[in-house]
Amino acid sequence: MVSTVRAVSESVQASFLGDGEVVLSGVSGIRNAKSGDLVFVEDEKSLAPALASDAAAVIAGAFAAVTSPAKPLIIATQPRLAFARAAKFLSPGRDHRPGVHPTAVVHPSARLSPGVAIEACVVIGEGVVIGPGTWIGSGTAIADGVSIGRDCRVHANVTIYSGAQIGDRVVVHAGAVLASDGFGYVQDKTTGRREQFPQIGRLEIGDDVEIGANSTIDRGALEVTSIGRGVKIDNLVHIGHNCQIGEDVVIAAQTGLSGSIVIEKNVVLGGQVGIGEHARIEEGVMLGGQGGVLPNKVLRGQGVAFWGTPAQPVREYLKQLAVLTRLAKRKGKVVL
Amino acid sequence: MVSTVRAVSESVQASFLGDGEVVLSGVSGIRNAKSGDLVFVEDEKSLAPALASDAAAVIAGAFAAVTSPAKPLIIATQPRLAFARAAKFLSPGRDHRPGVHPTAVVHPSARLSPGVAIEACVVIGEGVVIGPGTWIGSGTAIADGVSIGRDCRVHANVTIYSGAQIGDRVVVHAGAVLASDGFGYVQDKTTGRREQFPQIGRLEIGDDVEIGANSTIDRGALEVTSIGRGVKIDNLVHIGHNCQIGEDVVIAAQTGLSGSIVIEKNVVLGGQVGIGEHARIEEGVMLGGQGGVLPNKVLRGQGVAFWGTPAQPVREYLKQLAVLTRLAKRKGKVVL
Amino acid sequence: MVSTVRAVSESVQASFLGDGEVVLSGVSGIRNAKSGDLVFVEDEKSLAPALASDAAAVIAGAFAAVTSPAKPLIIATQPRLAFARAAKFLSPGRDHRPGVHPTAVVHPSARLSPGVAIEACVVIGEGVVIGPGTWIGSGTAIADGVSIGRDCRVHANVTIYSGAQIGDRVVVHAGAVLASDGFGYVQDKTTGRREQFPQIGRLEIGDDVEIGANSTIDRGALEVTSIGRGVKIDNLVHIGHNCQIGEDVVIAAQTGLSGSIVIEKNVVLGGQVGIGEHARIEEGVMLGGQGGVLPNKVLRGQGVAFWGTPAQPVREYLKQLAVLTRLAKRKGKVVL
């Protein structure tokens, strides 16, 4: 979409300096900016290269407002945030034409709201409910009874089992599997063989959640797995049955949560973290990449960073690594 | 399905106390039990809450048989197992109507047994054989020559390459990929470039195996990858070419096995375990989450727990962690 | 395909000893060789079992040329490489019949070259370009504007988002997701909520790349994610936005790269490796399984092996493990 510095400024509730009629057609990084592009800077030292680039205009913080700009400047309290919003304003995403592709297979009892777009080869089961403006990518399979809110984007080749209830503005990336059976068995003591423990609970996903490509989230065994509003989940993440993930939690790629874990709000989990069953990660904890938490453990401390397996406050863990390095560096044989 | 305390007791070969005609319509956890639900308890202290819940009846062990029950009690030697079986008796799973959906693409040479249900947009190749009662979920692709046994459930968007032979009552969750090419290359010493080593072997999966969502199992290079009867594999697990997995092995989520590994029967692997090529994990070993085993290593010991990377008997590993913690806690500079 | 010792020798540019008219119909391992099979040996001690097997002929190195062979011998400088090439010569892979399956949904603006084979239920978007001889497996979804080179094999149920440009002879295994949105958000300081940073860059994949089943590669945020010629990626690997992977890099299963990482050419990453954002792994480094690299770190050294988290040269890391083991083995309480 083509717009102007003035219109973009208004859309992100910022002021601007310079010519408001300069045309903007997209966003880019400073290095690959082309004519018509909007770029952003967060500090003084990036401002000069931004102004020297081929970009049409620059979003910057108040620090830039004193200069006499070579290009129009959009002045925002949070330049990165304003840039993200400007990008969405300029490129609101592919316009998915509402309607059901003729190759899609939609059960007659499914209730599709106005503005829903169902791509080719999608399969939608009995009693499914889909809110207005939601887009379902090709090849996705949605089982009986699933409900999906409004303005969601469910990409291609996703599978959603029965028992999932999904909020508004949720994004599910390709290949993700939602509400699959949890991993729970009962071993028969006489034969040693395992039989499945019932995996018949539900999965509830709040508004504004994003779920990465090929991630898997199991439904509850008897109760519910819940993912709070605003949770962001990267690719190839696993979340087991009965987990409770609080609001605004961030989970990086390939992290795995076994069953019945509580992650309180605003927790940040790095990549490849592993957490044992029934553990509890309290509000605001940060856990570094590859960290491991044993079953039933509790990590606590607003803003406290943990690392290692078993996870410890990062300062203590670094001390241990340092001691070990020093010990191993002693010349000759270590005699203790 | 609606049944009675008497009928459920008989179906799980247990006795009951109290009114056998009480109606049961499902199972649940104690906390969310509704009228008509069956719950279970494994110890005395859970019995009172179970009896106080809205559940219609309770499965319990012999310890409960002396009480004069406020609700009907089903008395079982293994209450959890009886509960799992009662759940299956009461909810035998969605009844998949036999037949081939008109949008499925089935090669004319494929042999589908009576009672097979093929959902929408499934693609079935030349010479595929599918046993009676097996259900294939929508969007699943089954390549030429694959054979699948009876009463299997292959969920949506699964891909099965040529060379797979699957037993009876196998469950494959959505997005899993079976019999894909192994990761083997030959580097040309003159150019430094890699060419694929032949990946033309087979994948054999025994009866009663369960494979989690988005897991991947490669076929053998020249020979066979085999998964023994009763093996349970969680989500996002990787099993490389030529691995031999014994009966009743349990593999938790995100664990990865590189090539030519032997896992003997009854081994339990925690989540995010990594095992190097040609390693051997002997019968009954348990390996804790995130544990790592180097190539060619052997872990042995019925019921022995290992942990850490490289994996060690857990007692020794915990001693090491304790020593390190103590060293790092010494005040001031550590002088050794 | 049925051929002869003479023809196979010529195809792999090797000489042979013995009867060149012996018929060859496939390749196998020595243990399961059947009549008509070609096997290979790389050392003297494997030669006798190979000659004693049911194989029709043996590929070997110059060391075997002095013997008076019981079977025809193909003598190659690199026997394993010659074997890989002979396998391809004898079994050039399933012949995918060119054409578009009637259930595929191909946008009228897509340009399919001669010899392209599009399987059932494939969905191809606007402006997609596919080179000659490329095969697209069933259920795969290719979004608007994607370009794919010649002689590629894209297996079933793959998803390729807009913004991907794929070279020649690339193999993409089932369930892989290419050019998905990167994991980048901006947190609004006033509300604490996260909004997506623009993920509108591209993904460029060079010639002769292989991508494993269920792996995920994100496109650039504003710029490009690039995968160099000849890179081999195993199953369930994650590559974040803006990563630059050099030529001939090998990445084993379940390894994860967060954003903006540079991996120079000829690097080998073991399985379950995790690398933090903006790290740089220089040419020829090897990083052992489960190794971890912190954000912004640089690993360097042609042929140097690293291991552990944080990754260190393997000799130093092993010394540390040894010291720790010794400390923990001291009898009684450790007094320091």
How confident is the model over C200-214, as pLDDT tens digits?
A: 999 999 999 999 999
Of C276, C316, C324, the CB nearest to A289: C276
Option in A175, A188, A320 nearest B324 (CB): A320
CB-based contact (8 Å) between A305 and chain C?
no
Smallest Cβ distance to C316: which of A210, A214, A328?
A328
Q: Are the CB atoms for A272 and A289 separated by under 8 Å?
A: yes
Residue B229 to residue A167: CA distance in whole angstroms: 40
Q: Do A81 and C188 touch (CB under 8 A)?
A: yes
Share of chain A above pLDDT 90, in %: 91
pLDDT of residue A335: 45
* Rounded alpha-carbon distances, angstroms, from residue A48 to A14, A24, A26, B29, C287: 21, 20, 20, 63, 39
| Best to test chain C binding among B216, B217, B334 (most C CBs inside 10 Å) | B216
Q: Residues B270, A277: contact at Cβ < 8 Å?
A: no
φ/ψ region of A5 (left if φ > 0, alpha if ψ in -120 to 50, else beta) reads: alpha
Closest to B141 (Cβ–Cβ): which among C84, C156, C336?
Answer: C156
CB-nearest partner of A139 from B137, B139, B252: B139
CB contact under 8 A, B253 and A272: no
Question: CB C155 to CB B292 under 8 A?
Answer: no
Chain B residues close to A137, C-beta within 8 Å: none
Taking the Cβ of residue A109 and every Cβ of chain C, the question of whether any pair is shorter than 8 Å is answered with no
Q: Answer yes or no: is pLDDT of A161 > 50.
A: yes
Q: For residues B277-286, b (16+ Cβ closer than 10 Å) or e, as one string?
A: bbbbbbbebb
Q: Model confidence over A106-151: pLDDT tens digits? A: 999 999 999 999 999 999 999 999 999 999 999 999 999 999 999 9
Task: Write out the catalytic residue numbers of B.
Answer: 241
pLDDT of residue A187: 95
Smallest CA–CA distance from B335 into chain C, residue: C336
- For residue C331, what pLDDT is reported? 52
- Kindly report the number of other CB atoms within 10 A of residue A159's CB atom: 30
Residues of C in contact with B177 (CB under 8 A): 173-175, 213-214, 235
Q: Tell me the CA end-to-end span of chain B in Å, nearest whole number.
A: 71
Q: How far is CA B78 from CA A222, B43, B92, B250, in A?
A: 19, 11, 20, 20
d(CA A245, CA A210): 13
- Examine the pLDDT at A96 and tell me if it is beyond 50: yes
Instruction: Read off the amino acid at residue C190.
Output: T
Q: What share of chain A is helix, strand, coil (3-state, %, to 5)?
A: 15, 30, 55
pLDDT: which is higher, B43 or C327: B43
CA distance A151 to chain B (A): 24
pLDDT mean across residues, chain A? 94
**Chain C contact for B156 (CB, 8 A cutoff):** no
The number of beta carbons lying within 10 Å of the beta carbon of residue B213 is: 34
Contact C163, C224 (CB under 8 A): no
Query: Which chain C positions have a beta carbon within 8 Å of B238's beta carbon?
Result: 234-236, 253-254, 271
- The pairing of beta strand C57-60 with beta strand C37-40: parallel
Contact A87 C198 (CB under 8 A): yes
Question: Which of C158, C194, C325 would you mutate first to test chain A, the one with the most A CBs within 10 A?
Answer: C194
For residue A336, what pLDDT is reported? 45
**pLDDT at C160 exceeding the cut of 70:** yes
User: Mean pLDDT, to the nearest integer, of C226-254?
Assistant: 98
Residue of A121, A122, A123 to mutate, testing the B interface (most B Cβ within 10 Å of its Cβ): A123
Query: Which has the closest alpha carbon to C180: C92, C281, C259?
Result: C259
Structure-block tokens of residue C141: 């979804």
pLDDT by residue for chain B (336 residues), tens digit each? 899 999 999 999 999 999 999 999 999 999 999 999 999 999 999 999 999 999 999 999 999 987 678 899 999 999 999 999 999 999 876 678 899 999 999 999 999 999 999 999 999 999 999 999 999 999 999 999 999 999 999 999 999 999 999 999 999 999 999 999 999 999 999 999 999 999 999 999 999 999 999 999 999 999 999 999 999 999 999 999 999 999 999 999 999 999 999 999 999 999 999 999 999 999 999 999 999 999 999 999 999 999 999 999 999 999 999 988 888 887 544 444
Pairing mode, if any, of strands B57-60 and A210-211? unpaired
Total residues belonging to chain C = 336
- Cα B153 to Cα A157: distance, rounded to the nearest angstrom: 19
Q: Does C144 reach chain A within 8 Å, measured CB to CB?
A: yes
For B227, residues 6+ apart whose C-beta sits below 8 A from its C-beta are B203, B204, B205, B206, B209, B217, B233, B239, B245
Q: Which chains touch C (3 or more CB pairs under 8 A)?
A: A, B
pLDDT of C1 reads 84
* CB hemisphere CA count around C114 (13 angstroms): 0
B139 touches chain C (CB under 8 A): yes
**So what's the pLDDT on residue C198?**
94
pLDDT at position A192 over 50: yes
How far apart are the C-alpha atoms of B218 and B228, rounded to whole Å?
15
What residues of C are in contact with residue B103 (Cβ under 8 Å)? Answer: 103, 121
pLDDT at residue B332 in the model: 44
User: pLDDT digits over C243-298, tens only?
Assistant: 999 999 999 999 999 999 999 999 999 999 999 999 999 999 999 999 999 999 99
The residues in A 254-273 lying below 8 A from C, measured between CB atoms, are: 254, 266, 271-272
pLDDT of residue C69: 83
On whether any CB of chain C is under 8 Å from the CB of A87, the answer is: yes
Subunit contact B248:A292, Cβ cutoff 8 A: no
Out of C195, C216, C223, closest to residue A235 by CB: C216
Q: Chain A partners of C216 at a C-beta cutoff of 8 Å?
A: 175, 212-214, 235-236, 253
* Model confidence at A330: pLDDT above 80: no
Nearest residue on chain C to A308, judged by CA atoms? C309
What is the structure's pLDDT at A39?
Answer: 97
Residue A332, pLDDT above cutoff 50: no
Name the residue among A222, A182, A224 with its Cα closest to residue A204: A224
CA distance C72 to C98: 38
What DSSP designation does C33 have? -
What single-letter DSSP state applies at residue C13? T
From the list B198, B240, B330, the residue facing C87 with the nearest CB is B198
Q: Taking a contact as any Cβ pair under 8 Å apart, which residues of chain C between 175 and 194 contact chain A?
A: 175, 177, 180-181, 183, 185-189, 192-194
Query: What is the Cα–Cα distance from B113 to C198, expressed in whole angstroms?
Result: 51
Tell me phi and psi for residue C323, to 5 degrees.
-60, -45
Residue B60 corresponds to which amino acid? A
The answer to whether the CB atoms of C28 and B222 lie below 8 A apart is: yes
* C35-to-B83, C25, C27, C72 alpha-carbon distances in Å: 54, 9, 10, 13
Give the predicted TM-score (pTM) of the model: 0.96
Angle among Cα B232, C176, B118 to the nearest 5 degrees reads 60
Q: How far is C267 from chain B (nearest CA, A)?
A: 12
CB B263 within 8 A of CB C69: no
- Quick one: CA dihedral B189, B190, B192, B193, positive or negative? negative
- Measured at the alpha carbon of residue B178, what is the angle toward residues B177 and B180, in degrees to the nearest 5? 90
Q: Cβ of B254 and A274 within 8 Å?
A: yes
Contact B156 A123 (CB under 8 A): yes
| pLDDT surpassing 90 at residue C96 | no
Interface check A206 vs C, CB under 8 A: no
> H or E stretch including A210?
strand A210-211
Query: Using a CB-CB distance cutoff of 8 angstroms, which residues of chain C are in contact with residue B128?
Result: none
| Shortest distance, CA B314 to any CA of chain C (angstroms) | 13
